Each structure stands twice: as C-alpha cells, then as structure tokens.
C-alpha cells in the first residue's frame, strides 16, 4: 500500500521519527537541504536520524551548501562524528528533500523546511510525505517516491555537487 | 440498543475494548517478549541471585507498554513469590512543577501502603528491635524521622489511629504538621536525604520483619520530572534523592522508574544524571521500542486469541449473522484483506506501531463496523479513518 499526507508542523521531527521507527530495516538515507543545524532540547531530530542510521548501518548521503557558518559546520560534524556519511556541497542548492529507503518500505518528505531547528519548530513550513510498502511502481505514490530517489541521486551526481574534502 | 464493542465482537470476560485492562491483564504479554524475558525478568533474577534489591529504569515512547510492564513485573513477582519474594507498590507520579520535591513521590507511596499497614509494620518491627528509634538510627535514619516512626507505636494494629499517629504519618509525607513543636515534630521534611530516609526506614522495617523480603517501589510516568529542570536547586534535590536510591548502599528497598522518551538523551536529568546512570548501571536501564513489522502481527494475533470467544463467533457464523463467505477464523474480526491492510498501515507508520495505538485503531475500526451493522471489519472502513 501507499499513502501521502500534508505535513505542516514539525515535519523534520516526523521524518526523524519515521527513520527511528524503521531503524531495524533502514538501508539508505538522503538528506538534501541547503542548511543543517543541530536540534535543541528534547525534540532532537538529528540525533534520531543519527541513531537510526548508526543502528542499521545505513548509507547516508547529505547534500547541502558549503558550510560557512559555525552552526552549519557543527551540525555536519555531528553527522560525520557518528556516521560515515557521503557529504556533498552545492552552493546553488535550494531543494529540500528527505528520503528513507528501507527493506519493504520507502518514505520521502518533500517541501520547504531545511533540516534546521527553525525549519522544524519556528518557521511556517509546508511539506508532503509519501509512504509506500510496495516493491515496484504499482501506483502513483510509489512511482513518485521512485522518481524522487532518481532525482536525489541525480542532484548528488550533478556537476554542481562537490564531494566535501574535509 | 447502544453498540457495545465487546458484545458485538464476541469478546471474552465482559471486555468492552481491544485495549488491555490493568491490573486484570497484567499477566498477558503480547509484545516485547525478548526484552521482558531476556532482559527484565533475567535482570530481576540476577538481582535476587546477588541478594540486591531490584533497581531499574524502563523508558520508551508513549503508549509502548511501560505501565503494562510494571503491572506485569508485579504479577510475575506475585506468581514467583516463594523464589523471588518482594512487595511491589505501583504509583503514578502526579503533577510535577519546577519546585516539586521528592515528597511528590514519597507521599503517594506511603498513601498506597496506608497508615494501617505502617502501624502493623512498626509494631512487628518492635518485635524484632525493641527500640525502634535507635534501630532505625543505626540504619542511617535521622533522629527526627526515626522518632516519627516511633510515635506510630502509640496506635495499635486494627484500632483507629490516635491523632499523634496521624500527624506522624503526615509529617513523614512531608506535610506541615499543626503545632509541630508542641507535638514533638521538627520543621516539615524538605531535604532529599530526609525523604530518602523515610523510604529507607519503611524499607528496612519491612525487610527485617519479613525475613529479607523487600519493598519494591515502582514510580510510573517520571517524564514529568523534566519540569524540575527549570529550577537548578530543585533538580539537584532530585538528583541527590535518586543517587541515594540507586546507590549500592541502599540495600533496603527496590525502585523502578518508568519514563517516556525515545532515547536516553530524552530522559529528564533528574533521573538520568551521569552520577545516577553510574549507580544504576547500563544493564538496569531498559528501552521498550515501538513494534517492528513482525511484532505488529504477533501483537494482533496474541491479543485477538486472548480476547475473542471463538465459540461465540462460530455461533454467529452458523446463525448467518456473520456472512460465511467473508469470514475467516484466522483473520476475525477482520476480513482477510482488511487484516492485511491493517498490518500494512502500521508497517507504513511504524512510528505509531505501539500497542496502545494498535488497540485504539482496532477499537475505532470495530466501532465504525458496528455502527454500520457489520460484524466484520472490512477494507472500505479504512478510508473513513484515513488509514
């Protein structure tokens, strides 16, 4: 089956909770976001993503802008210190897309929020989430997730995306 | 006639919902078998093997089954009381504000035990230790607390307590006692050590009277303790109390906290300060997870096997009330495709795959089916609930 929903509040918490709940079968994570920050307080979306990816030994791909601010570097450092992510920089990046590929399940969140505390808790943001337990493109939502993964891979392979050297 | 879910779906024993009830269902385990058997029960056995009181922290998301687990632990201890003697007392932690102190936990425990219990206990203790106050002082209980317990001897077991005994009870619960000085009480208890010693004294008396059997205090819903983080002094007060509880020096009583939180880092510092972690030890902190795909199926199967009266269901099939062409005993109360869809819904929403949520969705679907006069939950009902 597949489904989609509008997510207008705490979309990154939602994404990270899905990642965390699926950590026993998580294989690959795409985090495509111009900006990343650590989360604050107890609602820690970044640490949920880290723990989910670490427990499942999932491949993590991060595409973001080259970090200039301390908070951006620090958030990437958290990911690098806990995982072995492939980090790519694209200074032109504006898209925000978060995808989970699991055994028997795929999830994509597409919308306005950056992977930041403000994006999760403070800004007015809007996103759509797609979920599918189908293995193949049997319906529109599953096809959409499939296309988003192709798009994510294409963005990461794009000439504008450079592998982080640090 | 109003729709009664339990009747409509042939539930056993007067049940009215697919939600397990406590304490009635404490013996039942529908999920988390590995954590419960391999870690928690084994952990309890280990504590007894080393003659240490049970000390444990159980955490996990809301609705994942922590409260059920505490009742199951109590049930298990009652079933195995000859080999694992303990007296568990469960309380739910009430409202906690930034200034709440440890008496918010001590008070409900003493209330749960009751004054009659304490009167009998102190008298029985005097049978072992003629000088109650001195014996308690020798165990590390401060004089004013030991004296308050000693005053309880003024009432006899089975008799209405005299006023001074009632006042002593209130004093031990951290309440201000009217005319405290003339009645021989100090200022109201306030320090973390004092509240700890109130539990220590009752734990020590119980252990002495009952040949080594210990009280086990179980405090449910400790997530509320995050409120005390707004006040540094109050947080320190709680950290100190919990350090004392979980320290190896405390061999007088056991203690279990349950806390809502997905990860350790979500836990309130009042119970997860590094110094408390160090005393508790990593093997005594247990996480209950949301259910994985296979666990959802197992939960559903076990729950329905336990709750449904199969003979009554077959009676409805035989009478034609349930359409036999749609009925499958393996999937009842669902049609077979509806059961698959139910499992698929939670598989796509594993963040919600918690026992409480699964049972609640089952209730919602069952109610909807009943309202439509259907004896089976069919696929079309899922769209109404957005599943």
Q: What is the DSSP string of B326-369?
A: T--TTTTTB-HHHHHHHHHHHHHTGGG--HHHHHHHHHHHHHHH
- Which one of B338, B351, B353 makes the best mutation probe of the A interface by having the most chain A beta carbons within 10 Å? B351
Do B267 and B328 share a structural domain? no
Residue B234 belongs to a domain: yes
Question: The domain containing residue B112 runs over which residues?
Answer: 33-288
Contact B348 A24 (CB under 8 A): no
Q: Is B264 exposed, middle or buried (CB count within 10 Å of its CB: 0-12, 13-18, 19+)?
A: middle
Q: Quick one: average pLDDT of B98-122?
A: 97
Do B326 and B267 share a structural domain? no
Question: B370-384 burial, b for 16+ CB within 10 Å, e for fewer?
Answer: beeebbbbbbebbee
Do B271 and B168 share a structural domain? yes
Query: pLDDT value at position B185?
Result: 77
Contacts of A20 in chain B (CB under 8 A): 262, 351
Do B56 and B89 share a structural domain? yes
Do B279 and B173 share a structural domain? yes
Which residues have C-beta within 8 Å of that of residue B376, sequence separation ≥ 6? B322, B323, B326, B327, B332, B333, B334, B335, B338, B369
Residue B28 belongs to a domain: no
Contact B261 A42 (CB under 8 A): yes
Q: pLDDT 10s digit of each residue in chain A, 166 long?
A: 999 999 999 999 999 999 999 999 999 999 999 999 987 776 689 999 999 999 999 999 999 999 999 999 999 999 999 999 999 999 999 999 999 999 999 999 999 999 999 999 999 999 999 999 987 778 999 999 999 999 999 999 988 888 887 6
**Residue range B240-257, pLDDT digits in tens:** 999 999 999 999 999 999
Contact A3 B292 (CB under 8 A): no
What is the assigned CATH class of domain A2-163? alpha beta
- Which one of B261, B293, B383 makes the best mutation probe of the A interface by having the most chain A beta carbons within 10 Å? B293
Contact B351 A42 (CB under 8 A): no
Please state the domain count of chain B: 2
Q: Which regions of A33-121 does DSSP assign to beta strands (E)? A: 59-64, 86-89, 97-102, 105-111
Do B126 and B209 share a structural domain? yes
- Looking at residue B273, which CATH number applies to its domain? 3.40.50.300
Contact A131 B261 (CB under 8 A): no
Do B81 and B40 share a structural domain? yes
Cα B97 to Cα B109: distance, rounded to the nearest angstrom: 19
Do B252 and B149 share a structural domain? yes
pTM of the model: 0.91
B294 touches A: beta carbon within 8 Å: no
Where are the domains positioned within chain A? Answer: 2-163
In the structure, how many helices (H) and strands (E) does chain B have?
Answer: 18, 5
Residue from the list A3, A17, A42 with its beta carbon closest to the beta carbon of B348: A3
B137 touches A: beta carbon within 8 Å: no
Residue B124 belongs to a domain: yes
Which residue in this structure is represented by tokens 């979309």?
A: A11
Query: pLDDT value at position A43?
Result: 66
Size of interface A-B (CB pairs under 8 A): 44
In angstroms, the separation between the Cα of residue A46 and the nearest Cα of chain B is 12
Contact B347 A104 (CB under 8 A): yes
Half-sphere exposure (CA, 13 Å, Cβ side) for B148?
30
B263 touches A: beta carbon within 8 Å: yes
Query: pLDDT value at position B7?
Result: 94
Do B266 and B132 share a structural domain? yes
Tokens of B150: 């000693």
Tokens of A67: 């970090």
Terminal alpha carbon distance of chain A: 41
Query: pLDDT value at position B87?
Result: 97
Residue B279 reports pLDDT greater than 80: yes
In angstroms, the separation between the Cα of residue B290 and the nearest Cα of chain A is 7
Cα A51 to Cα A49: distance, rounded to the nearest angstrom: 6
Do B300 and B361 share a structural domain? yes
A66 touches B: beta carbon within 8 Å: no
A3 touches B: beta carbon within 8 Å: yes
Do B63 and B181 share a structural domain? yes
A47 touches B: beta carbon within 8 Å: yes
In angstroms, the separation between the Cα of residue B158 and the nearest Cα of chain A is 49
In angstroms, the separation between the Cα of residue A107 and the nearest Cα of chain B is 9
Q: What is the predicted ipTM?
A: 0.89
Of the three residues B268, B288, B308, the one that is the final residue of a domain is B288
**Residue range B293-312, pLDDT digits in tens:** 999 999 999 999 999 999 99
Taking a C-beta distance cutoff of 8 angstroms, is the pair B380, B327 a contact? no
For residue A33, say if its preceding peptide bond is cis, omega within 30 degrees of 0: no
**Residue range B47-80, pLDDT digits in tens:** 999 999 999 999 999 999 999 999 999 999 999 9
B261 touches A: beta carbon within 8 Å: yes
Contact B351 A17 (CB under 8 A): yes
Residue B26 belongs to a domain: no
Q: Quick one: average pLDDT of B320-346?
A: 96
Contact B226 A48 (CB under 8 A): no
Query: pLDDT value at position B44?
Result: 97
Enumerate the β-bridge partners of residue B253.
B215
Query: pLDDT value at position B200?
Result: 98
B344 touches A: beta carbon within 8 Å: yes
Query: pLDDT value at position A38?
Result: 87
Query: pLDDT value at position B177?
Result: 84
Query: pLDDT value at position A40?
Result: 75
Cα B12 to Cα B25: distance, rounded to the nearest angstrom: 12
Residues of chain B by 3-state class (helix, strand, coil), percent to 5: 55, 10, 35
Residue from the list A47, A48, A133 with its beta carbon closest to the beta carbon of B347: A133
Residue from the list A42, A44, A105 with its beta carbon closest to the beta carbon of B348: A105
**Residue range B125-181, pLDDT digits in tens:** 999 999 999 999 999 999 999 999 999 999 999 999 999 999 999 999 999 887 666
Contact A1 B292 (CB under 8 A): no
Contact A131 B348 (CB under 8 A): yes
In angstroms, the separation between the Cα of residue A68 and the nearest Cα of chain B is 28
Confidence band of B184 (pLDDT split at 50, 70, 90): confident
Taking a C-beta distance cutoff of 8 angstroms, is the pair A14, A7 a contact? yes
Contact B351 A18 (CB under 8 A): yes
Do B181 and B302 share a structural domain? no
Q: Pick the closest to residue B170 from B110, B92, B238, B215 (CA basis).
A: B110
Of the three residues B288, B303, B322, the one that is the final residue of a domain is B288
Residue B354's closest chain A neighbor by CA?
A21
Contacts of A38 in chain B (CB under 8 A): none
In angstroms, the separation between the Cα of residue A22 and the nearest Cα of chain B is 7
């Amino acid at each position: 089956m597949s489904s989609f929903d509008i997510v207008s509040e705490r979309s990154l918490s939602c994404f990270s909770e899905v990642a965390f709940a699926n950590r026993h079968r998580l294989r690959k994570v795409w985090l495509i976001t111009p900006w990343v920050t650590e989360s604050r307080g107890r609602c820690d979306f970044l640490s949920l993503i880290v723990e989910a990816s670490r427990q499942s030994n999932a491949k993590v791909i991060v595409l973001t802008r080259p970090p200039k601010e301390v908070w951006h570097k620090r958030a990437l450092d958290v990911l690098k210190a806990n995982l072995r992510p492939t980090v790519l920089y694209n200074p032109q990046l504006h898209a925000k897309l978060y995808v989970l590929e699991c055994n028997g399940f795929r999830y994509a969140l597409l919308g306005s929020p950056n992977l930041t505390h403000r994006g999760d808790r403070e800004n007015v943001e809007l996103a759509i989430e797609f979920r599918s337990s189908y293995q193949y493109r049997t319906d529109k939502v599953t096809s959409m997730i499939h296309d988003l993964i192709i798009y994510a891979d294409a963005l990461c392979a794009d000439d504008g995306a450079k592998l982080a050297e640090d | 006639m109003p729709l009664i879910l339990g009747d409509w779906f042939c539930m056993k024993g007067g049940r009215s919902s697919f939600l397990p009830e406590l304490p009635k269902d404490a013996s039942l385990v529908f999920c988390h078998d590995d954590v419960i058997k391999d870690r928690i029960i084994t952990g309890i056995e280990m504590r007894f093997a080393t003659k240490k009181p049970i000390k444990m922290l159980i955490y996990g998301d809301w609705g994942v089954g922590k409260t059920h687990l505490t009742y199951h632990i109590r049930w298990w201890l009652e079933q195995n009381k000859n080999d694992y003697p303990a007296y568990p007392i469960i309380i739910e932690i009430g409202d906690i504000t930034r200034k709440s102190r440890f008496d918010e936990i001590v008070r409900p425990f003493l209330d749960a035990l009751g004054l009659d219990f304490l009167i009998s206990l102190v008298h029985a203790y005097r049978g072992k230790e003629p000088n109650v106050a001195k014996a308690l002082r020798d165990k590390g209980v401060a004089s004013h607390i030991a004296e308050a317990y000693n005053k309880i001897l003024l009432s006899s077991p089975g008799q209405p307590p005299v006023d001074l005994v009632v006042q002593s009870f209130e004093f031990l619960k951290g309440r201000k006692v009217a005319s405290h000085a003339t009645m021989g009480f100090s200022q109201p208890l306030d320090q973390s050590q004092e509240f700890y010693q109130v539990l220590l004294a009752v734990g020590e008396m119980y252990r002495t009277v009952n040949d080594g059997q210990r009280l086990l205090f179980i405090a449910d819903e400790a997530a509320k303790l995050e409120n005390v983080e707004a006040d540094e002094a109050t947080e320190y007060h709680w950290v100190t109390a919990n350090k004392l509880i979980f320290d190896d020096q405390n061999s007088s009583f056991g203690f279990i906290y349950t806390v809502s939180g997905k990860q350790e880092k979500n836990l309130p510092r009042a119970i997860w300060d590094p110094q408390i972690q160090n005393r508790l030890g990593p093997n005594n902190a247990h996480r209950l997870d949301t259910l994985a795909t296979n666990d959802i199926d197992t939960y559903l199967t076990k729950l329905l096997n336990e709750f449904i009266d199969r003979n009554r269901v077959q009676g409805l099939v035989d009478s034609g009330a349930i359409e036999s062409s749609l009925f499958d005993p393996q999937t009842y109360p669902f049609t077979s495709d509806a059961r698959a869809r139910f499992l698929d819904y939670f598989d796509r929403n594993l963040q919600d795959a918690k026992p409480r949520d699964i049972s609640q969705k089952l209730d919602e679907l069952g109610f909807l089916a009943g309202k439509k006069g259907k004896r089976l939950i069919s696929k079309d009902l899922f769209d109404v609930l957005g599943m």
